Chain A
Amino acid sequence: MAEIIVVTSGKGGVGKTTSSAAIGTGLALKGFKTVLIDFDVGLRNLDLIMGCERRVVYDFVNVINKEATLNQALIRDKRTENLYILPASQTRDKDALSIDGVEAVLNELAESFDYIVCDSPAGIEKGAQLALYFADTAIVVTNPEVSSVRDSDRILGVLQSKSRKAEQGETVKEHLLLTRYNPGRVEAGEMLGVEDVKEILAIPLLGVIPESEAVLKASNQGVPVIMDADSDAGQAYDDAIARFLGEDREHRFLNAERKGFLSRVFGRKS
């Protein structure tokens, strides 16, 4: 039985799709059969980040409407074994998704996959609610910034009240993934620190992804940043996946001192 993971945040532009791509790829690299689903119908991005945009024929909405089978719509990742992508439709909107349709697709995927990673759209409306409804686990992506933290808090409330688990009286497992973290700016008091965010959201910290040039580069090249093992962000995602799978790894990239050391390393390379 597959574990359904939703990558969500409430706020847009915090790194949900980047994180979904990294998490999906990370799990597949560890040998788990993983599928990434883009729930952002109408604003399809995941295929770009995964570098498979030219191979999209059918999409999630086609499968829901039974215009295509799952096997026709699933795109097999060329770099990583065990990894598949189910792209969103770019020409439709969120109303094209129905709860029964989503459930049918997830049930079918659950038969053959270990992990189903749902890349949620921003907001708390229908698209985001459908993305999180069937989740067993939520990875809440947050930037160290007050509005992002508040929106994450809101989505945590939605998770524990409107998800299927909540309706059955169970709880959705929650993980905090802090992205775009800049220790230098935290020390200068310009950015919220890890402890501040942890205190406000009160959920376990899965990982801290440093603000990194590698992320933008990876996005534009269509390669998940976790594949860039030399980059700080790639290593941080790798740590996060290891922690997700139960490994105990120390958090890195938390203070400016180390950041300074790393930037020196990168400075030498470039």
Chain B
Amino acid sequence: MSNMTPMASAVNQESEPRCFQFKSARASLNELILTTSDTELLKPQLAAHAAKVPMLFNNMPVILNCQQQETAPDVATLKTLISLCRELSLVPVGLKTNPDSSAELCTALQLADFSHQRRASHSNDDETPKQAQAEAPPAVSPPPAAKVVTTPVRSGQQIYARDTDLIILAPVSAGAEIMADGHIHVYAPLRGRAMAGVNGNTDARIFCQSMEAELISIAGYFKTSEDLHTECWQQPIQALLRGSRLDTVSL
């Protein structure tokens, strides 16, 4: 008998198929950053937004972010917030709040706790999240599609992508000027001037396959070809702002 049991269990394992599997799925989750828990204030604003972009509210899973509120909301407040979300076809799946009380709240509300994750990234990089949070409300409305240019941008020509990104699939000649409120991508040599984030967006970046520019600038911070010659000439690079420093990073 004693050696029957392991035998039986072994047979069992083989005959019955496995019923589950863990797989990493990179589902994209949006955050709903609430600067207040006052539903009176929130409801009309959220409803108006839902009416404007009904596609977005189509049972979209969201993380409720209450970290910007001065006092962290309690269970009762969160319950009303959650029901408000469900009314507007949002599906709250997680919570970000004060990490000291988040575990308790999440157990009570049966939500996943994202509070600690946020903290970690906060301490790593102090600037980017603040920027992202500050710009989150306008970013929710769908941005205009990027401007795509497929022909060479010649000396003396100017191209401006208003409110959006600029994608160029041909060389940008010396003496040409390309500008965008968003990012600039050049899938060819960049020899002219490139200005990203011209409306002051410090998160804008410049990407190019071969950096040979006369000048690059992001939100007014610039580098001339003299600097670029010593750093990254003819290299595939991206340029981004780190604080008030315009950095070039190899791609």
Q: A154: which B residues are within 8 A, CB to CB? A: 154-156, 175
Give bound CA distance, A202 to B152, whole Å: 8
Residues of A within 8 A of B157 (CB): 157, 161
In this complex, the interface size class of chain B, counting residues with CB under 8 Å from chain A, is: 10 to 19
A157 engages B191 (CB within 8 Å) = no
- A-B contacts, 22 listed (Cβ < 8 Å): A124-B156, A150-B174, A150-B175, A151-B155, A153-B154, A153-B156, A153-B173, A153-B174, A153-B175, A154-B154, A154-B156, A154-B175, A157-B153, A157-B155, A157-B156, A157-B176, A158-B156, A160-B151, A160-B154, A199-B189, A200-B174, A202-B152
- How many A-B contacts if CB must be within 8 Å? 39
Spell out A's residues near B (CB within 8 Å). Answer: 124, 150-151, 153-154, 156-158, 160-161, 199-200, 202
Q: Which residues of B contact A202 (CB under 8 A)?
A: 152, 170-171
Chain B facing A: main interface SS: loop
A204 to B176, CA, bound (A): 21
Nearest B residue to A10, CB-CB = B155
Residues of A within 8 A of B176 (CB): 157
**Most chain B CB atoms below 10 A, which of A154, A157, A158:** A157
**In the assembled complex, which residues on chain A have CB atoms less than 8 Å from the CB atom of B170?**
202
Tell me how far the C-beta of B176 lies from the nearest C-beta in chain A, rounded to whole angstroms. 8
In the complex, what distance in Å separates the CA atom of A202 from the CA atom of B168? Answer: 14
Residues of A close to B152: CB separation below 8 A: 156, 202
Residues of A within 8 A of B174 (CB): 150, 153, 200
Given contacts A200-B173, A202-B171, contact A150 B151 (CB under 8 A): no
- The CA of A33 and the CA of B213, in the complex, are separated in Å by 46
Q: Which residues of B contact A150 (CB under 8 A)?
A: 155, 173-175
CB-CB < 8 A to A151: which residues of B?
Answer: 155
A150 to B173, CA, bound (A): 8
